[in-house]
Amino acid sequence: MEQLIEMPLISIMGYREGWHSWFGEQGLVELQPMTSFESDNTTMAIDMAEAGVGALLGLSGHLYEPLQSGRLIKAHEYEMEAECGHYLVLPNRPMTAKVDNFCRWMLEELEQHPCKDNLDWNLSL
- Pair 59, 12 in one domain: yes
- Pair 9, 48 in one domain: yes
Mean pLDDT throughout 16-39?
Answer: 82
Q: Which residues contact 39 (CB under 8 A, 6 or more apart)?
A: 10, 11, 12, 13, 45, 48
**Structural domain containing residue 61:** 2-69
- Pair 53, 91 in one domain: no
pLDDT of 122 reads 59
State pLDDT tens for residues 65-92. Answer: 999 999 999 988 888 887 766 666 777 8
| C-alpha–C-alpha distance, residues 5 and 32, integer Å | 10
- Count of structural domains within the chain: 2
pLDDT of 51 reads 96
**Helix-helix angle 42-50:60-69, to 10 degrees:** 30
In a domain, 48, yes or no: yes
| C-alpha–C-alpha distance, residues 108 and 6, integer Å | 42
- Pair 6, 53 in one domain: yes
State pLDDT tens for residues 50-64. Answer: 999 999 998 888 888
Q: pLDDT band at residue 24, thresholds of 50, 70 and 90?
A: confident
- Pair 37, 91 in one domain: no
**3-class state of residue 57 by DSSP:** coil
- Pair 12, 65 in one domain: yes
**3-class state of residue 41 by DSSP:** coil
State pLDDT tens for residues 94-118. Answer: 889 998 898 888 888 877 777 666 6
In DSSP terms, 119 is beta-bridged to none
pTM exceeding 0.85: no
The CATH number that applies at residue 48 is 3.40.190.10
Eight-class DSSP state of 33: P
CA distances from 115 to 12, 67, 118 (A): 21, 14, 6
Rg (CA), the chain: 17
pLDDT of 85 reads 63
